[in-house]
Amino acid sequence: MGIVTPEIGLIFWMLVIFGILIVLLRSFAWKPILTALHEREDSIESALRMADQAKLEMQQLKAGNEKLLADARLERDRILKEASDVANQLIEQAKNKANEEGGRMIMQAREAIQNEKNAALAEVKNTAAQLSIDIAERILRRELTDQPAQQQLVDSYLKEVKLN
C-alpha cells in the first residue's frame, strides 16, 4: 500500500525539494526567462510599429505612384495630341504642296501644249506657204512658157499696181 498512499516523510521531502527548486528557478531561471520574454515582447511591439510604419509608407508610395501614373497618363495624352496635331499639319502641308505642284505641272503642260500647238500651226503655215509657192511656181512656169501669156500676165500685174 505504500505506493498508493504517500507517507508523511515523502511528502515533506517533496515539499522541501519543490521549495528549493522554486528558489533556484526563481533566482537563476526566471530572471533570464522573464528578461527574454520582455525582450521578445519589446521586439514584437517594435516589429508591429515597424509594420505600421511600413504600411503607412506603402500607402504613401501607392498614392505617390498613382499620382505619378496619372501625371504620366496626362503627359502621354498631351504628347499624343501634339503628335496628332503635328501629323495633321504635315498632312495639310503635303496636300498644299501637292496641289501647288499639281497646279504648276498643269500650267507647264498647258504651256507645252500651247507651244506645240503654235509650232504645229507654224509648220502648217510653212507647209501651206511652201505648197502655195510650189503651186504658184508651177502655174507661172506653165504660163511663162507661152510668150503671149507672159505678156498678158505682165500687163495684168501692171494694171493692178498703180503708181502714185
pLDDT score at 164: 45
Distances (CA, A) of 144 to 80, 88, 147: 93, 81, 7
Distances (CA, A) of 102 to 92, 98, 113, 114: 15, 6, 16, 18
pLDDT score at 144: 66
Q: Is the pTM value of this prediction over 0.85?
A: no
pLDDT score at 9: 87
Q: What is the pLDDT of residues 3-14, one digit of tens each?
A: 677 788 888 999
Residue 148 confidence (pLDDT) above 80: no
Q: For the chain, what are the domain ranges? A: 8-156
Cβ atoms of residues 114 and 124 within 8 Å: no
5 residue type, one letter: T
Q: What is the pLDDT of residues 35-80, one digit of tens each?
A: 889 999 999 999 999 999 999 999 999 999 999 999 999 999 999 9
Give the number of other CB atoms < 10 A from CB of residue 30. Answer: 13
